[in-house]
Amino acid sequence: MLMNWCERSIDDTVVELGSSSQGLNSSEAQKRLVENGPNAIKSSRKKSKAAIFVSQFLNVMIVVLVVAAAVSMIIGEYADTIVILIIVLLNAFIGFFQEYRAEKAIEALKKLASPVSIVLREGVKQKINAAELVVGDVVLLEAGTKVPADMRLIECYSLKLDESSLTGESVAVDKVSIALKKPNIQLSDCINMAFKGTSVTYGRGKGIVTATGMQTELGKIAEMLEEEEAATPLQVRLKEFSKNLTVIIIGIAVLLFIVGYLRGNSMVQMLLLALSLAVAAIPEALPAIITIALARGAKILVKQNALIRKLYAVETLGAVTFICSDKTGTLTKNQMTVSEIWIPGGEEYQSNFLKAMHLNHDVDQRDGNFLGDPTEIALVLFVQAHPAFNNSWGEKHLRINEIPFDSERKVMTTIHTSDDRYLIITKGAVESIIGICNHIPDWELVSSRVEDMAGRGLRVIAYAYAETSLLPDEINPETIEKEMKFLGIAGLIDPPREEVKSSIEQCNSAGIISVMITGDHPATAAGIARELKIVKSDADRITTGTELEHLSEEEFENIIEHIKVYSRVSPAQKLRIVKMLQKKGHFVSMTGDGVNDAPAIKKANIGVAMGITGTDVTKEAAHMILLDDNFATIVRAVKQGRRIYDNVRKFIAYIMGGNTAEVVCVLTAPLLGFPLPLLPVQILWINLVTDGLPALALAVEPVEGDVMKKPPRKSDESIFSGGTGRKILLAGFFMGLLTVAVEYYLLKNNVENWQTMVFAVLCFSQLWYVLGIHSNRSFFKRDFFRNSYLFITVILTTVLQLFIIYLPVFNTFFHTNPLGLNQLLAALVISSLIFWIIEARKIISGHLKV
């Protein structure tokens, strides 16, 4: 257990692990390796190519189409069979290639450990593959390496670790080797432990391995990734839609078959009629069109630096109500910066303060790049950019000695030459610096400024100095760090990205709540959250992982919608937050880059990983990856997601309106004693071409202007909400009954090519229908070429329909006859009635927009 190793002394740890300060012997290490397995994180399960392809057919609508194809073959309608199967396969291949390409874009889960580790085996240093490490091994750590396993530290020499990928803490952590005695200790507080996957940024140390592979903290996170993923809103709605549509189609077809057969019609004739009804009702092109629309949306998002890994996630961002964002590297730059300095004295103090900042550090500068602790790099960059900076300070005050930083003193001291004297500079925690000063210009003012900076989330570093003509014989903290003069303080912060504030404001206007989830200190997190307007009022709550741990499920459920900042939370708690928000009916997006974000990212309705700073584990778990690590890209993706969902609703409305017209036509005519108005192959042509091409154009319909000013759609909202279902039925019944009325008139007047005329009227009606419904704005108040694809497809479909009517080869295949010019014009005029009715409705209902 993590808690036990933190609390145990070094001697107790060594004994319990059956090891020694000299490490294990080779035979014991080999035995443990065989028993416990390699020190590796198991890769997440991957779909094979075959499994990805087969999964494309696991859709109720596709199954219905396959059954329809089988029935068509049985009764000899081979053309119908071929066309249906082509559509089914086309949909499968599009889905397969998109999903497979996304899988290829992200490599499989990689090991975060260094491939080689230095261990002590029987007192001898050895380099071994990190996968061969076992519990009890003694590992040597040095700057620039990654920690290969969880370990209890037994020696630390100014050791600092970057644990941001695991805990979310942006500041390097100072490590110690002493036992800890703290209640309710959190992962980020275990300063005598080193965890697999973290990095050594400074110093050196030695640790004894306490856990390997899947037993490490990193491994436990990997296990959480086995959580079942949440279905996207569109998947939920299409599944419900397909199920309901299937029941309705089967019911109507069976009823029609029974009624017709009982009225004396032949079984074959009624089977043909029932099949025609099924073909008319099933939107054959819908799965393919939705897949193409989502794939195109994914392609657009890639150009906007967002890589979609799960195709159906394209539209999910348009439905999210909460964006739970990691702070470090997502909302902030993950780059410590000096925000401000405060110097209590006059000009002399400023010069000495800046000189101290320039001299007291361990930053190494190579080829214009700075190497070292992020905090020290920030201090150096600040002083070098200051107008009063003097580059000769380093030459004038050569460093001759130093006392390294350690976590107990919390200060670092350097000693420099200063003409015929010595300059001593100390920097570190404010309380430690004050403790060694005998001269502070204004203690109350210093205390007030420190409190103000800390309250705004800044990390405060203090400086002090002393001058002496003689150094003691022994250089140590007791002899050097005393009777110093207080110089001033520097406030550092990991600053927000410049574009994040405006992005969050857009989220607010779109009804999306932004929440910060971080491993940082509560004061730091709160300061950033207030600056970004995530926390805007007293009603917005800030809580910590420790407080969250003591909340019951009921208490947490009551307040979760008011919590805007979670500080120092564990991976399991992040997962709990996402689950609770989902329980409250929210669609949740979780963004982040660290390993600690991965379980929550996978469980979220849409998980968003950072492409540049994100770990491989996080990318593997995500639905979408931000290639530029830019929070503003999320807002663009939200806008794109909303556009795609609106367009999906538009082409579903178009296709279902046309299919309703076909069902009404095919069902009403026989019940009125008329001949079958359309043949199955003609219905299939309308469904695949007349429906399909304009529907594809609707998929690229530009975004409506107010899309980011609307609240997110409700989690239980139907595709047919907002009167869409009613409008579909009214339009479908009108077009269907209009077609039957045309059939009645033509039969009454003994027109020979009546069926071709009926075919043309229904086809053209749907083309007029799409011109009417592609926007809520009036057709005449919009840029005519705003969606040029729509007009191109309408013209193309019209030309194809004319080929069907007038070319002999198609006359034979589709059972059509050429129309006279007057008949063609009549078909165009009669079919346009639906367009004028829709335009009139826009005016009457007040939807006309200038």
Same domain (yes/no): 511, 563: yes
Residue appearing with tokens 């086309």 = 90
Q: Can you read off the two tokens belonging to residue 847?
A: 């939807």
pLDDT of residue 203: 81
Using DSSP, state whether 679 is helix, strand or coil.
coil
Question: Can you name the residues that pair with 161 across neighbouring β-strands?
Answer: 173, 200
Residue 257 has pLDDT above 60, yes or no: yes
Residue 189 has pLDDT above 60, yes or no: yes
CATH number at residue 576: 3.40.50.1000
Same domain (yes/no): 553, 608: yes
Amino acid sitting at position 469: S
Q: Can you read off the two tokens belonging to residue 340?
A: 């401000």
Nearest CA-CA partner of 725 in 624, 611, 826, 649: 649
pLDDT of residue 296: 76
Given phi > 0 = left and psi -120 to 50 = alpha, else beta, which region is 533? Answer: left
Cα 685 to Cα 708: distance, rounded to the nearest angstrom: 38
Q: Which residues contact 195 (CB under 8 A, 6 or more apart)?
A: 147, 150, 163, 166, 187, 216, 217, 218
Question: What separation in angstroms does the CA of 149 have from each of 26, 138, 139, 143, 602?
Answer: 18, 11, 9, 16, 24
Same domain (yes/no): 819, 787: yes
Q: Can you read off the two tokens belonging to residue 84?
A: 């249906």
Average pLDDT over residues 105-122: 59
Q: What DSSP letter does each residue of 44-99 carry, written as one string?
A: PP---HHHHHHHTT--HHHHHHHHHHHHHHHTT-HHHHHHHHHHHHHHHHHHHHHH
Q: Which residues contact 761 (CB under 8 A, 6 or more apart)?
A: 738, 739, 742, 827, 830, 831
Residue 806 lies in a domain: yes
Question: What separation in angstroms does the CA of 143 have from each of 160, 161, 297, 655?
Answer: 8, 9, 44, 63
Same domain (yes/no): 365, 418: yes
Cα 323 to Cα 506: distance, rounded to the nearest angstrom: 12
Average pLDDT over residues 144-169: 83
CATH number at residue 756: 1.20.1110.10
Using DSSP, state whether 272 is helix, strand or coil.
helix
Backbone dihedral angles phi then psi of residue 326, each to the nearest 5 degrees: -65, 145
CATH number at residue 477: 3.40.1110.10
Contact between 816 and 800 (Cβ < 8 Å) = no
Of 175, 195, 224, the position where a domain reaches its end is 224
Same domain (yes/no): 456, 527: no
Contact between 258 and 36 (Cβ < 8 Å) = no
- pLDDT interval class at 114 (50, 70, 90): very low
Average pLDDT over residues 337-345: 89
Q: Which residues contact 559 (CB under 8 A, 6 or more apart)?
A: 541, 551
Q: Can you read off the two tokens belonging to residue 20?
A: 């020694």
pLDDT of residue 745: 93
Cα 626 to Cα 609: distance, rounded to the nearest angstrom: 6
Q: Can you read off the two tokens belonging to residue 297?
A: 């949306």
User: In sequence order, which ranges of 672-691 are alpha helices (DSSP H)?
Assistant: 680-685
Q: Are strands 322-326 and 588-592 parallel, antiparallel or unpaired?
A: parallel
Cα 742 to Cα 755: distance, rounded to the nearest angstrom: 10
Cα 682 to Cα 688: distance, rounded to the nearest angstrom: 10
Dihedral over alpha carbons 375, 376, 381, 387 (to 10 degrees):
110
Cα 512 to Cα 504: distance, rounded to the nearest angstrom: 9
Same domain (yes/no): 674, 578: no
* Longest CA pairwise span in the chain (Å): 123
Amino acid sitting at position 291: T
* 326 is annotated as an active-site residue: yes
Residue 105 lies in a domain: no
Higher confidence at residue 53 or residue 339? 339
Residue 272 lies in a domain: yes
Same domain (yes/no): 234, 220: no
Q: Can you read off the two tokens belonging to residue 522?
A: 């509560």
Q: Which helix (H) or strand (E) holds 117?
A: strand 116-121
Q: Can you read off the two tokens belonging to residue 532?
A: 């970004």
Average pLDDT over residues 96-104: 58
Q: Which residues contact 650 (CB under 8 A, 6 or more apart)?
A: 698, 701, 773, 774
Which pLDDT tens digit goes with each residue over 300-321? 888 888 888 776 777 677 788 8
CATH number at residue 206: 2.70.150.10
What proportion of the chain, given as a percentage, has pLDDT over 70?
A: 85
Residue 233 has pLDDT above 90, yes or no: no
Cα 340 to Cα 556: distance, rounded to the nearest angstrom: 38
pLDDT of residue 65: 65
Q: Are strands 150-162 and 306-308 parallel, antiparallel or unpaired?
A: unpaired
Residue 848 has pLDDT above 70, yes or no: no
Contact between 208 and 138 (Cβ < 8 Å) = yes
Q: What DSSP letter does each residue of 721-783 carry, written as one string?
A: TTTHHHHHHHHHHHHHHHHHHHHHHHHHTT-TTHHHHHHHHHHHHHHHHHHHHS-SS-GGGS-
Residue 695 lies in a domain: yes
Same domain (yes/no): 61, 32: no
Q: Can you read off the two tokens belonging to residue 725?
A: 């279902």
Residue 103 lies in a domain: no
Dihedral over alpha carbons 303, 309, 314, 316 (to 10 degrees):
-140
Residue 483 lies in a domain: yes
Which pLDDT tens digit goes with each residue over 524-568? 788 888 888 999 888 999 998 889 988 999 999 999 999 999 987
- pLDDT interval class at 710 (50, 70, 90): confident
Residue 107 has pLDDT above 60, yes or no: no
Backbone Cα Rg of the chain: 35
pLDDT of residue 764: 94
Cα 177 to Cα 175: distance, rounded to the nearest angstrom: 7
Average pLDDT over residues 751-774: 91
Same domain (yes/no): 488, 502: no
Residue 217 has pLDDT above 60, yes or no: yes
pLDDT of residue 109: 33
Q: Which residues contact 357 (CB under 8 A, 6 or more apart)?
A: 379, 380, 382, 383, 427, 463, 490
- pLDDT interval class at 184 (50, 70, 90): low
Alpha carbon 124 to its chain centroid, in Å, reads 47
Number of residues that make up the chain: 850
- Domain residues for the domain of 11 are 2-43+110-224
pLDDT of residue 631: 75
Question: What separation in angstroms does the CA of 99 have from each of 88, 298, 624?
Answer: 17, 11, 12
Q: Which residues contact 407 (CB under 8 A, 6 or more apart)?
A: 174, 175, 176, 191
Most confident segment among 500-514, 631-645, 669-683, 771-785? 500-514
Which pLDDT tens digit goes with each residue over 235-247? 667 767 777 777 7
Taking residue 713's Cβ as centre, other Cβ atoms within 10 Å add up to 20
pLDDT of residue 454: 80
pLDDT of residue 102: 46
Cα 764 to Cα 819: distance, rounded to the nearest angstrom: 14
pLDDT of residue 266: 72
pLDDT of residue 515: 92
Contact between 592 and 325 (Cβ < 8 Å) = yes
pLDDT of residue 279: 64
Cα 684 to Cα 686: distance, rounded to the nearest angstrom: 5
pTM for the full predicted model: 0.64
Contact between 332 and 496 (Cβ < 8 Å) = yes
Mean pLDDT in the chain?
82
- pLDDT interval class at 211 (50, 70, 90): very high
Q: Can you read off the two tokens belonging to residue 687?
A: 């469904």
Question: Can you name the residues that pair with 63 across neighbouring β-strands?
Answer: none
Contact between 194 and 205 (Cβ < 8 Å) = yes
Burial of 749 (0-12, 13-18, 19+ CB in 10 A): exposed
Which pLDDT tens digit goes with each residue over 380-421? 999 999 999 998 999 899 999 999 887 678 899 999 999 889
Cα 820 to Cα 155: distance, rounded to the nearest angstrom: 96
- pLDDT interval class at 503 (50, 70, 90): confident
Cα 330 to Cα 631: distance, rounded to the nearest angstrom: 6
Of 588, 612, 629, the position where a domain reaches its end is 629
Q: Which of 80, 137, 162, 326 is catalytic?
A: 326
- pLDDT interval class at 71 (50, 70, 90): low
Walk across the sheet containing 306-308 and list its strands.
306-308, 624-626, 606-610, 588-592, 322-326, 513-518, 563-567, 541-544
pLDDT of residue 47: 64
Same domain (yes/no): 245, 295: yes
Residue appearing with tokens 């990193």 = 218
Same domain (yes/no): 170, 285: no
> How many domains does the chain fold into?
4
Q: Are strands 173-174 and 124-129 parallel, antiparallel or unpaired?
A: unpaired
pLDDT of residue 240: 73
Residue 261 lies in a domain: yes
Question: What separation in angstroms does the CA of 124 have from each of 18, 22, 29, 140?
Answer: 18, 8, 14, 12
Cα 104 to Cα 620: distance, rounded to the nearest angstrom: 11
Residue 709 lies in a domain: no
Q: Which residues contact 125 (CB under 8 A, 6 or more apart)?
A: 118, 119, 140
Q: Which residues contact 367 (CB under 8 A, 6 or more apart)?
A: none
Of 224, 240, 257, the position where a domain reaches its end is 224
Same domain (yes/no): 92, 153: no
Backbone dihedral angles phi then psi of residue 561, each to the nearest 5 degrees: -75, -10
Average pLDDT over residues 249-268: 75
